[in-house]
Structure 1
Amino acid sequence: MASWFNDDRAIVLAVVRQPDANTVAVVDQVRSHLAQYRAQVPPSLNIEVLNDRSRSVREAVADVQKTLLEAVVLVVMVIFLFLRNVRATIIPSLALPLSIVATFAAMWVLDFSINNMTLLALTLCVGFVVDDAIVVLENIYRHIENGERPFKAAILGAREISFTIISMTLSLVAVFIPVLFMGGVVGRVFREFAVTISVAILVSGFVSLTLTPMLCARLLKPVDHSRRPNIFFRASERMFDLWLAGYRNSLDFVLRHRPYMLVVTFATMALSVYLYVIVPKGFFPTEDTGFITGTVEAATDISFDAMVEREKIIAQAVRGDPNVAYLVSTAGATGISRTTNTGRLFIALKPQSEGRPSAFQIIQDLRKRVSGIPGVRVFFQPVQNINIGGV
Structure 2
Amino acid sequence: GDVRIGPFDYNLYANSQLENIAEINHLPLKTVGNASVLVSDVGKAEDASQIQSSIVRVDGQPSVYLPVLKQGGSTISVVNGIKNAVSHLLDIPAQLVTKVVFDQSVFVKDAIQNLVLIGIIGLTLTAGLILMFFSSLRATFGVLLSVPLSVLAAFIALSLTGNTVNAMILGGLALAFPRLINNCVVVLESIFRHLEMGESPEVAAEKGGNEVALPVLAATLCTAVVFFPVTFLYGVSKFLFSALAIAVVLSLFASYFVALTVVPLFCARYLKPRPAGAETAAKEKLSVANRFQNWFNHLYQRFLRGYERLLDWSLGRPLATVVVLMGLCLLGFGLYPFVGVSYFPKTDPGQFIINVKAPSGTRLEETEALVEQVEAVIKDEVPTNELDVVVSNIGVTPGFSSIYTSNSAQHTATVQVSLKPGHRLSSFDYMRRIRRRIRKSLPQLSVYFQSGGLVDAIINLGFPAPIDIQISGSNLEQAHQTAMELARQARTLPGVSDVLVPQDIDYPALQLNVDRLHAGELGLTSKEVVQNVITALTSDMMIAPSYWVDPKSGNDYLLTVQYPE
Q: Tell me, yes or no, if the aligned pair for 2:198 and 2:273 is still in contact at 8 Å.
A: no
Provide the residue aligned with 2:276 in structure 1: 224
Provide the residue aligned with 1:291 in structure 2: 351
The answer to whether 1:119 aligns with 2:189 is no
Q: What is the CA-CA distance between 1:293 and the residue it aligns to?
A: 0.8
2: CA distance between counterparts of 1:88 and 1:304?
70
Computing the radius of gyration from Cα coordinates, the structure with the larger value is 2
Q: Tell me, yes or no, if the aligned pair for 1:286 and 1:384 is still in contact at 8 Å.
A: no
Amino acid at match of 1:9: P
Pick from 78, 92, 100 the counterpart of residue 26 of structure 1: 78
1:261-272 residue pairs with structure 2 within 5 A? 261-272=321-332
Amino acid at match of 1:208: A
- Gap change, CA 1:163 and 1:347, over 3 Å in 2: closer
RMSD: 2.6
2:207 aligned counterpart, secondary structure:
helix
Aligned identity (percent) is 27
Q: What is the CA-CA distance between 1:105 and the residue it aligns to?
A: 2.1
2: CA distance between counterparts of 1:308 and 1:138?
69
Q: Tell me, yes or no, if the aligned pair for 1:291 and 1:382 is still in contact at 8 Å.
A: yes
2: CA distance between counterparts of 1:140 and 1:44?
69
2: CA distance between counterparts of 1:295 and 1:31?
27
Q: What is the CA-CA distance between 1:257 and the residue it aligns to?
A: 4.3
Pick from 155, 160, 163 the counterpart of residue 104 of structure 1: 155
Q: What is the CA-CA distance between 1:181 and the residue it aligns to?
A: 5.5
The answer to whether 1:367 aligns with 2:367 is no
2:341 aligned counterpart, secondary structure:
coil
The answer to whether 1:273 aligns with 2:333 is yes
Q: Tell me, yes or no, if the aligned pair for 2:180 and 2:255 is still in contact at 8 Å.
A: yes
Q: Tell me, yes or no, if the aligned pair for 1:330 and 1:344 is still in contact at 8 Å.
A: yes
Pick from 136, 146, 161 the counterpart of residue 212 of structure 2: 161
- Gap change, CA 1:6 and 1:268, over 3 Å in 2: same
Pick from 317, 320, 332 the counterpart of residue 395 of structure 2: 332
- Gap change, CA 1:68 and 1:119, over 3 Å in 2: farther
1: CA distance between counterparts of 2:114 and 2:424?
19
1: CA distance between counterparts of 2:69 and 2:61?
24
2: CA distance between counterparts of 1:266 and 1:338?
58
Deviations 1:302-360 (A, max 9, x none): 444433332222222223332433322233346313233322211122332xx532212
Amino acid at match of 1:344: T
1:320 aligned counterpart, secondary structure:
helix
- Gap change, CA 1:146 and 1:11, over 3 Å in 2: closer
Deviations 1:12-38 (A, max 9, x none): 2211111x232211111211221444x
The answer to whether 1:2 aligns with 2:58 is no
1:284 aligned counterpart, secondary structure:
coil
2: CA distance between counterparts of 1:350 and 1:164?
49
1:200-219 residue pairs with structure 2 within 5 A? 200-218=251-269, 219=271
Q: What is the CA-CA distance between 1:197 and the residue it aligns to?
A: 2.1
- Gap change, CA 1:304 and 1:220, over 3 Å in 2: same
Provide the residue aligned with 1:248 in structure 2: 308
Q: What is the CA-CA distance between 1:372 and the residue it aligns to?
A: 1.5
Give the structure with the larger helix fraction. Answer: 1
Q: What is the CA-CA distance between 1:240 and the residue it aligns to?
A: 0.7
- Gap change, CA 1:42 and 1:265, over 3 Å in 2: same
Q: Tell me, yes or no, if the aligned pair for 1:180 and 1:195 is still in contact at 8 Å.
A: no
Amino acid at match of 1:2: I
1:46-195 residue pairs with structure 2 within 5 A? 46-179=97-230, 182-195=233-246
1: CA distance between counterparts of 2:95 and 2:198?
85
Deviations 1:88-135 (A, max 9, x none): 434434332332222222223223333333333333333212323333
Provide the residue aligned with 1:318 in structure 2: 378
Q: Tell me, yes or no, if the aligned pair for 1:88 and 1:220 is still in contact at 8 Å.
A: no
Q: What is the CA-CA distance between 1:224 and the residue it aligns to?
A: 2.4
Amino acid at match of 2:136: N
TM score, norm. by length of structure 1: 0.88
Amino acid at match of 1:330: N
- Gap change, CA 1:262 and 1:2, over 3 Å in 2: same
Deviations 1:190-212 (A, max 9, x none): 22322222122212222333333
2: CA distance between counterparts of 1:376 and 1:318?
15
Q: Tell me, yes or no, if the aligned pair for 2:358 and 2:367 is still in contact at 8 Å.
A: yes
Q: What is the CA-CA distance between 1:277 and the residue it aligns to?
A: 5.0
Provide the residue aligned with 2:295 in structure 1: 235
Unaligned runs of 5+ in 2: 1-53, 283-289, 397-401, 465-565
- Gap change, CA 1:252 and 1:49, over 3 Å in 2: same
Provide the residue aligned with 1:343 in structure 2: 413
1: CA distance between counterparts of 2:115 and 2:94?
42
Greater CA drift, 334-343 or 61-70? 334-343
Q: Tell me, yes or no, if the aligned pair for 2:220 and 2:256 is still in contact at 8 Å.
A: yes
Q: Tell me, yes or no, if the aligned pair for 1:298 and 1:375 is still in contact at 8 Å.
A: yes
1: CA distance between counterparts of 2:273 and 2:293?
17
Q: Tell me, yes or no, if the aligned pair for 1:296 and 1:377 is still in contact at 8 Å.
A: yes
Q: What is the CA-CA distance between 1:79 and the residue it aligns to?
A: 1.8
Provide the residue aligned with 1:13 in structure 2: 66
- Gap change, CA 1:233 and 1:46, over 3 Å in 2: closer
Deviations 1:122-165 (A, max 9, x none): 33333212323333333333333334444334333333333223
2: CA distance between counterparts of 1:222 and 1:32?
58
Deviations 1:3-58 (A, max 9, x none): 3223322232211111x232211111211221444x34444443332212223332
